Amino acid sequence: MHTSLERHRTRSLVLRAPRPDDAAAVFAIASDPRVWTHFPSGRPLEVRESAAGIDRWREGGAADGLGVWLVSTAGEPDRIIGYAGCWGRAAGRLWNLGYRFAPSAQGRGFATEAAAEAVAQAQGLDAARPVVALVLEHNTGSRAVAERCGLSVRFRGRDVGNPDAAAVRLVLADRPLADEEIAAALG
């Protein structure tokens, strides 16, 4: 098992740490309205937002020893199709699993493969931290990825702060969570 954000491969993917010059490629994925159908107000509108996100990913990776990878296929290692990883949440008490893929890469198992690697890395690096994923209930694809990685629903409730007042937030985790861990995940 590789630890940290070093470049490595899974069965069919190449995973590597993001660089500042990746902002345009990340923005191309992150700004596509089709990847934000479940939370449209979260979509970045300017490349500088993706650049700032990369900076946060890099800082978090340095602090936690793990973070977000840019994902390519082994057949096209220079074409970024998505990003995925686990990073520290709640002052390092939890691992947060997240993933986002270009529409052309969805439905092909890439998110599950990258997310499963992220969960394995997080559990290998610090197994005492629960791995959590925050998913909107109506985003069944994202929920299915988290569940295929061994996470299950531990909380269901209103998504406070979401412009959609009817939105329901799920917290999935790799183990049962105490009330304070659920609060930290939602915080």
Question: In terms of pLDDT, which residue wins out, 164 or 5?
Answer: 164
Does this model's pTM top 0.85? My answer is yes
Residue 5 has pLDDT above 70, yes or no: no
Please give the Cα distance from 56 to 78 (Å, whole number). 22
pLDDT score, position 139: 93
Question: Two tokens at 98?
Answer: 């997240």
Q: Say which CATH superfamily domain 8-186 falls into.
A: Gcn5-related N-acetyltransferase (GNAT) (3.40.630.30)
Q: 21-76: per-residue pLDDT in tens?
A: 999 999 999 998 888 777 777 778 899 999 898 888 888 888 888 999 999 999 99
Q: In the beta sheet, which residues pair with residue 73?
A: 13, 76
pLDDT tens for residues 15-29? 999 999 999 999 999
* Contact (CB, 8 A) for 97 and 149: yes
Among residues of the chain, what percentage have pLDDT more than 70?
A: 97
Gyration radius from the chain CA atoms: 15
Per DSSP, 26 falls in state: H
Residue ranges per structural domain of the chain: 8-186
pLDDT for 123: 95
